[in-house]
Structure 1
Amino acid sequence: MKRKNLMVIFSIILLLFIAAGCTPETAGDMTDSNDSDSNDNATEEGSPSARDDIVIGIESDAVTMLANTDVNYVNDVQIRNIYDPLIERDNEGGFIPGLASEWKNIDELTWEFTLREDVTFHNGKPFTAEDVKQNIEYILNEENNSFYRSRWTAFKEVKVIDDYKVQIITHEPLPNLLLRIADDLLIMDMEHVQEVGLDEAAKNPVGTGAYKFSEWERDQYLKLEANEDYWNGAPSIKQVTFKYIPEFSTRLAAFLSGEIDLFKNVPVDSVERVENDGNSKIEMIGSSRINYVALNTFYDGPLQDKKVRQAISYAVNVDELLASVLNGNGTKMTGPLSKINADYAETEGYEYDPEKAIQLLEEAGYKPSDITLQLDTPNGRYPMDTHVAQAIAAQLQQIGITVNVQVNEWGNHLAKIRQREMSDMFILGWGPAFDAQGTVENLFTEEAPYSGFYDPEVQEMISNAIPIFDPEERKQAWAEIQQRLVEEAAWIYLWQQGDLYAVRKNLSFQPRIDEKMLVHTMSWN
């Protein structure tokens, strides 16, 4: 993603936000935090006091401290402070060296990585090519139940050339192998894992990252301490706490009272309260995350019928949702990829047309009043998620369809999707989403853990597109798949998320389009 394109998206979101009115605050009627001195971090003379700690509010507990295991943003955003990738991303989403100093494509099946020679794990063990080999083998081993495994089926073997050079060989051409390496693979000390066992390693991780594990109180907090020997320089912030606060309104109250210093997904109707607080600021960025409603074909219900899915899509007014629920804070999607995705193709979406919706239902043999659906949503994971769900239910009720909204705790919401326990529809987001395969393969194939749609012809199209090396042919193949998914009405296509962060005023923090919170890049002014 070029900086120019990102700034255009940012400017559009910002203008929409400024122009939008505010609805009653999600946080409720709270007292003005400006009367409190609990969060000003100031000396008697009024200058900022020296701080070497930070508390970050986050919506739920991590599932595990093991790397390469659970595909879950709230898990990933925490453990990326403990573990390092071979390839990192810059703030625009481009690849930059991490534990690998350089890489090259030897042939269509072979990639070679040269590793840094000055890296040690938190326990003092040197990092070598053998660690790369063992971590990839961990993903591929069925016994480890890694949710990344379905994304790594093309990987065949890893060859250690010497201590600091490794080759990765695939079964078939994998043009976007670097994306898998950058977005999935984190390096943990597999000797530690083998020594203490998976259960213990899941509670006591050892990586090479900027922070060492300190303490984990389930459903309460995770505490980390600075790795003073970090290969990329000792962090200026020495103590990190991720505090688990599921509710939007409670996170906001905790921030304004000084209990936490940073949190993501500020309710759009509460931005003004943060901006009016003298110790706070809002940081905004157009995220690479997409938000959608899956129309679940794994469930034996009316949404297995294509015409019913199309009818639902025509009956939901996305423009109205963006304006009235999100106050304009998002960019409408017409297909499965956002406009900042490298493989994005223009698609003709479903414009609001309730009469067309009723007509399609009748063609499918249904009266709207005959249909009762369930819509599952998390609470506090995405901007205004429960409000969005209720608004969609109200829109479908306007044509006679009854929708029961089921609100889930985030961890339970993910588990229901992975275990195929969802019923008709569910709200989910996906990101970082920088290329088509990273989204489409993971959300529209039979075995992918978060998929809500499966069609054998679509899966064959996906399988055929993955190994194409020629850039133009590859882009065309993914464009055809995007068009097919729109025709199939696999989702209610919603929006590219606009990310709003509440930030303590004297904290140097730059939001990223990949949503990572790398604390070693932050500092107190």
Structure 2
Amino acid sequence: MKKAISFFFAICTVLMLTACTAGTSGDGTTTNKNTSVQGKDGKTDKKDSLVIGFESDATTLLANWDVNYITTAQIRNIYDSVINRDPKTGELTPGLGVSWENIDDLTWRIKLREGVKFHNGADFNADAVKFNIDFILDEKNGSFYRSRWANVKEVKVLSPTEVEIITSKPFPNLLQYVASDLLIMEPGYVKEVGNDVAAKKPVGTGPYKLTDWVRDNHLKLEANEDYWQGTPNIKKLEFRYIPEFSARLSAFLSGEIDLFKNIPVDSISEIENSANSKIADVASSRINYLALNTLTEGPMQDIRVRKAINYAVDVDELLNSILNGHGTKMTGPLSIINSGYTETADYGYDPDKAIELLKEAGYEPKDLSLTLETPRGRYPMDSHVAQGIASQLQKIGVEVNVQVNEWGTHLEKIQNRKVGDMYILGWGPAYEAQSTIENLFTKVAPYSSFYDEKIEEHIYAANEIFDEEKRYEAFEKVQHELVEAAAWVPLWQQADLYAIRENLNFEPRVDEYFHAFDMSWK
């Protein structure tokens, strides 16, 4: 019997408070000028262009390769998804695929949209979907999505508008991965020019085409006038790379950029008091955490040390003093916005217990020296949070060396298992349990920091359960196991703050993407 599966997600509102903290460090300059000019009345003479300030360059313009929000948020304007999400609820909605069904435990069928063209005029069809899934699965492509799609056995083209995905094991979460991972490149073009060229000069079906990409400076796109959903209102789109927050803020206040996210809480009033500016906030589906690296030899491989770190980090103090309450505290691996969330025990703040556990593990706190790595400007107050954690650990006598990385370097070190004892990272968008737990707590996942053989067995077993109640119970058990194992130090569900030009029609999404097709000027 065929089973039609629908996924619904409960989105919880986060109560966020506005206040002030110490000033945000960092300086920088930007010399590029937007085509818009800010007049004396503070209103922008905007034509048909939009400039979005980003903290980092995309690592590639190749689809289906880099598991990295910074990259994905940009290239989703070039490529389309087979399945989309509702921007407010996260519910699955049609994209290049118009309908889908679960035939049996190992078979999924997707009906595709007709009449869609790639930027080079080629037809979109089922062969294109097969090519892009096969691209992920082909080991020689080195896709960081490959571990997420390992259970896909075969993709069959049934007709130009129908594709069937066969899995080697039950894969009830497949549609979630289709929505979050899969973007469609033009097969003929990629085969002709190769991955290296396609990574610099992409061809998709999306609302925008590449015009210019200058590394560490900008990505410029132009509207696809023949886009299947209609011509975009924004004709020229630019992502401008400004690593330092203070430089992004200056660029926004001077009218050089029109939109950026991750505003530190100490800058809210400055933006609110600026002409033609506004702030929007949304409860993100992203979580922030302190990873404890057990994948390389070191003190974090001892559970007593990991538990000690949990007891020594005062999450409530960090959340209140550094973020002014802009976030929702977590005690386990999932946030309350996640459909698989279950309440877990809170270690709480107990420095005496932390010292006791370190001594049990054979460490005098004063003799223990740890490295804590963090990006700066990627997550709200990230380097400040790292310094706060270091200060708290130093209160019990542990020496902590904070190392600030450029964002691309930070990710590369994590992926290549060259990171230190601890690191700050975020994960999302994530709406259900598997997307977070499998990708952060299994041995082969590129951003994992923790592995336990028995827990991994439980994770993979839970992945295969179709029955919703039994699946929930299985992931509930895993969440408690991860907390008991002190797999990491959970921090908070991120609250996203955006600086927006007042006359820009823009609504923040829970998945944090910037879909310029949905934007326009008033």
TM-score calculated relative to the size of structure 1: 0.95
Residue in 1 that maps onto 2:237: 240
> Residue 210 of structure 1: CA displacement?
0.5
> Residue 28 of structure 1: CA displacement?
8.0
Residue in 1 that maps onto 2:13: 9
Q: Kindly report which structure 2 residues correspond to 1:3-402, keeping only aligned pairs within 5 A, or say none.
A: 6=11, 9-10=13-14, 12-13=15-16, 17-18=17-18, 21-26=19-24, 41=38, 49-91=45-87, 92-402=89-399
Q: Per the alignment, do residues 27 and 278 of structure 1 end up closer, same or farther by CA in structure 2, a change over 3 Å counting?
A: farther
CA distance in 1, matches of 2:44, 2:73: 28
CA distance in 1, matches of 2:362, 2:194: 55
CA RMSD of aligned residues (A): 1.8
Report the 3-state secondary structure (helix = DSSP H, G, I; strand = E; otherwise coil) of the residue aligned with 1:84: coil
TM-score calculated relative to the size of structure 2: 0.95
Q: Per the alignment, do residues 375 and 27 of structure 1 end up closer, same or farther by CA in structure 2, a change over 3 Å counting?
A: closer
Percent of pairs identical after alignment?
60
1:511 aligns with 2:515: no
> Residue 47 of structure 1: CA displacement?
7.5
**Is the 2:220–2:239 Cα contact (8 Å) retained in structure 1?**
yes
CA distance in 2, matches of 1:114, 1:353: 55
Report the 3-state secondary structure (helix = DSSP H, G, I; strand = E; otherwise coil) of the residue aligned with 1:286: strand
Which amino acid is 2:284 matched to? S
Report the 3-state secondary structure (helix = DSSP H, G, I; strand = E; otherwise coil) of the residue aligned with 1:241: strand
Which amino acid is 1:290 matched to? I
> Residue 365 of structure 1: CA displacement?
1.7
**Is the 2:26–2:245 Cα contact (8 Å) retained in structure 1?**
no
Q: Per the alignment, do residues 381 and 52 of structure 1 end up closer, same or farther by CA in structure 2, a change over 3 Å counting?
A: same
Superposed CA offset, 1:193-214 (max 9, x none): 1101111111000000000111
Residues paired across the two proteins, number: 510
> Residue 25 of structure 1: CA displacement?
3.0
Superposed CA offset, 1:461-501 (max 9, x none): 11111111111111010001000000111111100000000
Report the 3-state secondary structure (helix = DSSP H, G, I; strand = E; otherwise coil) of the residue aligned with 2:73: helix
**Is the 1:39–1:256 Cα contact (8 Å) retained in structure 2?**
no
> Residue 55 of structure 1: CA displacement?
0.5
> Residue 253 of structure 1: CA displacement?
1.1
**Is the 1:61–1:74 Cα contact (8 Å) retained in structure 2?**
yes
CA distance in 2, matches of 1:239, 1:484: 49
Superposed CA offset, 1:259-289 (max 9, x none): 1100010111101100000110001000000
> Residue 38 of structure 1: CA displacement?
9.8
Superposed CA offset, 1:361-420 (max 9, x none): 122121111110000000110000110000000000000000000000000000000000
Report the 3-state secondary structure (helix = DSSP H, G, I; strand = E; otherwise coil) of the residue aligned with 2:13: helix
> Residue 250 of structure 1: CA displacement?
1.2
CA distance in 2, matches of 1:47, 1:495: 36
Counterpart of 2:497 (choices 496, 500, 503) is 500
Report the 3-state secondary structure (helix = DSSP H, G, I; strand = E; otherwise coil) of the residue aligned with 1:77: helix
**Is the 2:43–2:276 Cα contact (8 Å) retained in structure 1?**
no
CA distance in 2, matches of 1:452, 1:473: 27
> Residue 299 of structure 1: CA displacement?
2.2
CA distance in 1, matches of 2:453, 2:187: 37
CA distance in 2, matches of 1:40, 1:461: 57
CA distance in 1, matches of 2:26, 2:468: 51
Q: Per the alignment, do residues 377 and 290 of structure 1 end up closer, same or farther by CA in structure 2, a change over 3 Å counting?
A: same
> Residue 42 of structure 1: CA displacement?
5.5
Residue in 2 that maps onto 1:33: none
Deviating above 2 A after TM superposition, structure 1's stretches of 4 or more consecutive aligned residues are 27-30, 37-44, 46-50
Counterpart of 1:478 (choices 475, 478, 483) is 475
Superposed CA offset, 1:174-230 (max 9, x none): 111110100000000021011011111110000000001111001100000000111
Q: Per the alignment, do residues 413 and 42 of structure 1 end up closer, same or farther by CA in structure 2, a change over 3 Å counting?
A: same
**Is the 1:43–1:49 Cα contact (8 Å) retained in structure 2?**
no
Superposed CA offset, 1:95-133 (max 9, x none): 100000111111111111111102000001110000000
My pick for the range that moved more, 356-365 or 232-241, is: 356-365
Report the 3-state secondary structure (helix = DSSP H, G, I; strand = E; otherwise coil) of the residue aligned with 2:248: helix
Q: Per the alignment, do residues 28 and 165 of structure 1 end up closer, same or farther by CA in structure 2, a change over 3 Å counting?
A: closer
> Residue 49 of structure 1: CA displacement?
3.7
Q: Per the alignment, do residues 2 and 172 of structure 1 end up closer, same or farther by CA in structure 2, a change over 3 Å counting?
A: closer
CA distance in 1, matches of 2:378, 2:95: 29
CA distance in 2, matches of 1:322, 1:293: 13
Q: Runs of 5+ in structure 1 lacking a partner? A: 31-36
Q: Per the alignment, do residues 362 and 189 of structure 1 end up closer, same or farther by CA in structure 2, a change over 3 Å counting?
A: same
Report the 3-state secondary structure (helix = DSSP H, G, I; strand = E; otherwise coil) of the residue aligned with 2:77: coil
CA distance in 2, matches of 1:205, 1:471: 39
CA distance in 1, matches of 2:25, 2:417: 33
